[in-house]
Amino acid sequence: MQIGKVLHQIYRVDQFLGEGGPSVVYKGTDLLLGLPVAIKQLKQDDGNQLLKADRFLREARTQARLTHPHIVAIKAVFENEDGYFIVMEYVDGTDLEHLIRDSKTLPRLPLEQIGEIFGQLLDALYYAHKEGVIHRDIKPANVMLTRDGKVKLADFGIARSEHEEKLTKTGVLIGTPAYLPPEQLHGKPLDHRSDIYSIGAALFESVMGRTPFESLDEDRTIHQILKDHLFSPPPSLRALGADIPEALDLIIQQCLTKTPEERPANCKELRRILLSVLPSAPTASSDMLPAVLPKPLPTPIPPSRQEPPLPKKQKPLSALEAQQTLSADAPTPSSSRTALFAGIAALLLLLVAAILFLQRPKDTPQQPLSPTLAIGTHPTLSPSKTTLSPKEPRQTAPLAPSRRTTPATRQQPTQPPENPLPSGDNPPPPPTGPPFPSQDRTPPTARAQIPPLAQPKQTPPPPSVMAHGEMVLIPAGPYTQGHPLDKAERKKQRANNDHPTRISDIRNFWIDRFEVTVQQYNDCIEAKSCQRLQKRKQGFLFVQGRRVDLLRNRPPKEPVRWVEWKDAVDYCIWAGKRLPSEAEWEKAARGTDKRSYPWGSEEPKLCEQAKFLGCQNDLHGYEELPYEVSPRLRITGKSPYGVYDMAGNVFEWVQDCYDPKAYTMLPTKDPVLEKADCKERVIRGGSFRTLHSIRTYRRYGEPIQSRQVDIGFRCAWSAEMQHKIPSHRHQGPVQKNFRDDY
């Protein structure tokens, strides 16, 4: 194309920008509006020109009907003797690919910048998906960035609309191999989750500087990259040395899962989760997905209206100063009478100020006008007012943190009792940061300057609660909840998955290290806060059998069984605790690495990790009766946080009502399902009578009046989320147990 040529009598070609695929791009000028434009020309060759023209025009039609501030706008489409042309908005800036390539740090882009760029990009993609358009070629080279940081999504050349005919032949691979989802490689139908996979690859590259299955040390062929996209799990960015939050690593891995069902539901959900774990949020967004705006800054005051800083004691103004002040604030006088009134007012003001100055007491020390001082630096407070005397007893009730309380006056939280387990058995200490890291959007440099009193503390349970069993702190933060249908479930031909994969964000909480024992429950019975666990024996003909105490002669350290849901609730209330939510229980069992068992993802070895179906003949010297619960401590089967028997032994009641669609209905932040008429509650963890149920993600519904030989419980506690326990006295007949043990 000749530089300087005018196309369509409006658009002048000014500069060659580049070429890629079937088109060439020039910078031009709209002569009518005097604005820069980008001109894309379809290359003319002999190879299948008609099909290329159809795809070229389809790009124009698809992109032209997408009106969004973060999508490059189409201005015109025409044809002349030189071929087909698309005139579009010119983006004065760079693209994400050059931004990543020019960076030499790790991560390649600051987390704040990643949040700003991908927040706008996901905003645009969510809008396109709502309009029925799948981009199919999301990569950093197609993400344009203006000089003021605004994102523009470009190149809809292979985008597919739900309402348009398919132009790609079967078996023909289109798109960039490093960002293609597995279903696109298989030739399967695509939907909006295919773009989410490409977003995950672009996020990976924004952190690491390369796509998930590329290597900087060796050259890999396209065949090897495509094979990894099909069969290899994505590597962990933190394992590769990237200093990023664990939650961000989990989100990127979830986007790169092989099956679309395991990825985030849509770009709106992904955008919300992504911005919740990054230190800042974008300030520019469309009306489709409004961004979380920062706190508004105060309106700047013009220099002419600014007041000078006041000293510790306001001094009287002289006549000249008062007159200058009044003349600066008052409008210009239009007559000598206005000037006379201004002079009289200045004299009166001077007189009043002089009287006040003479009446000021001379012996009173001057105090600062503002009561706000740096913590611990008040010049007039004596030590007796800020510290407690050694003879004075400290208050036992926890004090709420105050910004004006010095560190000496803050009460230290009560430490939990020492762990009776061996020293090597204790879990690593939890992080001491804020309890809600997913909501912290403060930049790292600013976060380090926050005074200690501004950090929320992790309140431990009071001694009265800790007296009813050792508890473990589960730190706050997101984790992967749920799992796709496993082999056993597919073998049973389950049509629906009641535990689909999703990211849940849980506040910190405490959970019992061990299941509630027979001795602990008997203590509650003796305190007349729990009812006895009884069952009638089989009678003869119409005569009812006598009642039998189910806990009689049971080992005191054995997990309590035969408890209904209301029995578990009664005990936890008596102990000052509550039942854990289903999401809390799962995080305590599996941690944040998506493990299938508390000890990891490998199958259980004999009976060392758990007591499950098949462990009636223990090969390690511990004699157990067949089909009996085990009180033995199995150290190798504990969870990442040091919680025991969360697989096997006995099922455990949790707080949630059972609903097979709960994961699709509940929010991801501290989810718990309650219903007005809840007849089924969730049990987790499997038991000594099951095998496949001991996986951490399995969930079952059990009638709340079910009294089974293999159902027990454990309790939880948290300062922020002591859920209100609903009425649990369910009226009605006891339902049959329909639990399906695979």
Per residue in 139-191, pLDDT (tens digit) is 999 999 999 889 999 988 666 554 444 444 434 445 688 898 999 888 888 89
Share of the chain above pLDDT 70, in %: 68
Mean pLDDT (the chain) is 75
pLDDT at 340: 65
Q: How far apart are CA 253 and CA 207, in angstroms?
A: 13
pLDDT over 90 at 654, yes or no: yes
Is the pLDDT assigned to residue 25 strictly greater than 60?
A: yes
Instruction: Confirm whether 6-89 and 474-533+557-717 share one CATH topology.
Output: no
pLDDT of residue 228 exceeding 70, the answer is yes
Options 3.90.1580.10, 2.40.160.150, 3.40.50.620, 3.40.50.150; CATH for 474-533+557-717 is 3.90.1580.10
* Residue 605 phi, psi (nearest 5): -95, 110
Buried b (16+ CB within 10 A) or exposed e, 361-395: eeeeeeeeeeeeeeeeeeeeeeeeeeeeeeeeeee
Catalytic residue selected from 14, 46, 82, 137: 137
- Whether the pLDDT of residue 303 is over 50: the answer is no
- Order of strands, edge to edge, in the sheet holding 471-474? 471-474, 509-512, 716-717
User: Within 10 Å of residue 521's Cβ, how many Cβ atoms?
Assistant: 27
- Assess whether pLDDT exceeds 80 at residue 402: no
Q: Which of 262-266, 333-337, 436-440 has the highest mean pLDDT?
A: 262-266
Of 54-63, 539-548, 575-584, minimum mean pLDDT range: 539-548
Strand partners, 80: 83
Q: How many Å apart are CA 518 and CA 605, to the nearest integer?
A: 28
Residue 18 β-bridge partners = 25
CB 479 within 8 A of CB 501: no
Average pLDDT over residues 279-302: 43
Is the CATH number of domain 93-163+172-277 1.10.357.10?
Answer: no
Cβ atoms of 730 and 705 closer than 8 Å: yes
602 pLDDT tier (thresholds 50, 70, 90): confident
Where do runs of H (alpha helix) occur along 280-424?
A: 319-329, 336-358, 383-386
Q: Where are the domains of the chain?
A: 6-89, 93-163+172-277, 474-533+557-717
User: CA 660 to CA 649: how far, in whole Å?
Assistant: 25
**Alpha-carbon separation of residue 268 from 13, 278, 284, 661 (angstroms):** 39, 16, 15, 20
The whole-angstrom separation of Cα 364 and Cα 280 is 48
Residue 341 pLDDT level (bands cut at 50, 70, 90):
low
Active-site residue, 148 included: no
More confident residue, 372 or 696: 696
What is the third-level CATH fold of 6-89? Phosphorylase Kinase; domain 1 (3.30.200)
pLDDT digits 0-9 by tens, 410-432: 344 444 443 343 333 444 444 44
List, for residues 35-45, the tens digit of each pLDDT value.
Answer: 999 999 988 76
